[in-house]
Amino acid sequence: DVKVTQSSRYLVKRTGEKVFLECVQDMDHENMFWYRQDPGLGLRLIYFSYDVKMKEKGDIPEGYSVSREKKERFSLILESASTNQTSMYLCASSPLQGREQYFGPGTRLTVT
Amino acid sequence: LAKTTQPISMDSYEGQEVNITCSHNNIATNDYITWYQQFPSQGPRFIIQGYKTKVTNEVASLFIPADRKSSTLSLPRVSLSDTAVYYCLAQLNFGNEKLTFGTGTRLTIIP
Measured CA angle at B35 (ends B33, B38), to 5 deg: 155
Domains and CATH numbers, chain A: 4-111 (2.60.40.10)
A101-105 average pLDDT score: 92
Mean pLDDT of A48-75: 93
Q: Determine the residue among B98, B99, B105, B106 to mutate to test chain A binding: the one whose Cβ has the most chain A Cβ atoms within 10 Å.
A: B99
| Other CB atoms within 10 A of residue A65 CB | 13
CA distance B86 to A52: 31
Distance CA B100, CA A45 (A): 7
Round to whole Å and give the CA distance between A17 and A102. Answer: 29
Measured between CA atoms, how close is B100 to chain A, in angstroms? 7
Q: Confidence band (pLDDT; 50, 70, 90) for B92?
A: low
Subunit contact B43:A103, Cβ cutoff 8 A: yes
H or E element, residue B27: none
**What local confidence, expressed as pLDDT, does residue B31 receive?**
76
Give, in words, the CATH class of B9-110: mainly beta
Query: In this predicted structure, what is the pLDDT of residue A43?
Result: 87
Q: Does A36 have pLDDT greater than 90? A: yes
Nearest-Cα distance to chain A for B15, in Å, is 28
Q: How many CB atoms lie within 10 A of CB A68?
A: 20
Please check whether residue B33 is in contact with residue B24, taking contact to mean a CB–CB distance below 8 angstroms.
yes
Provide φ and ψ at A79, rounded to 5°: -60, -40
* pLDDT interval class at B96 (50, 70, 90): very low
Task: Output the CA–CA distances (angstroms, integers) from residue B19 to A97, B8, B9, B15, B47, in the order listed.
Answer: 28, 13, 12, 13, 14
Question: What pLDDT shows up at residue B41?
Answer: 84
Angstrom distance (rounded) from CA B82 to CA B34: 17
- Asked whether residue B100 carries a pLDDT value surpassing 80, the answer given is no
Pairing state between β B84-91 and B32-38: antiparallel
CA distance B80 to chain A (A): 22
From A40, A56, A58, residue closest to B103, measured CB to CB: A40
pLDDT band at B3 (very low <50, low <70, confident <90, very high): confident
pLDDT digits (tens, 9 = 90+) for B4-28: 889 999 999 999 999 999 998 877 7
N-term to C-term CA, chain A: 37
Greater confidence (A71 vs B52) lies with: A71
Pick the residue of A36, A43, A48, A49 with the most B CBs within 10 A to test the interface with B by mutation: A43
Whole-number pLDDT of residue A47? 94
Q: Which residues contact B67 (CB under 8 A, 6 or more apart)?
A: none
Listed in sequence order, the residues at least 6 apart from B38 whose beta carbon sits closer than 8 Å to its beta carbon are B44, B45, B84, B85, B86, B87, B104
Give the model's pLDDT for residue A40.
Answer: 81
In terms of average pLDDT, the best of A16-20, B27-31, B85-89, B99-103 is A16-20
Question: Which tens digit of pLDDT belongs to each residue from B32-89?
Answer: 888 999 998 889 999 998 888 899 999 999 999 988 889 999 999 999 999 999 999 8
Q: Is the pLDDT at B106 greater than 90, yes or no?
A: yes
The domain ranges of chain B are 9-110
Q: Using an 8 Å CB-CB cutoff, list residues of chain B that contact chain A.
A: 32, 34, 41-46, 49, 87, 91, 93-104
Using an 8 Å Cβ cutoff, are A58 and A48 in contact?
yes
Q: Which residues of B touch A99 (CB under 8 A)?
A: 32, 49
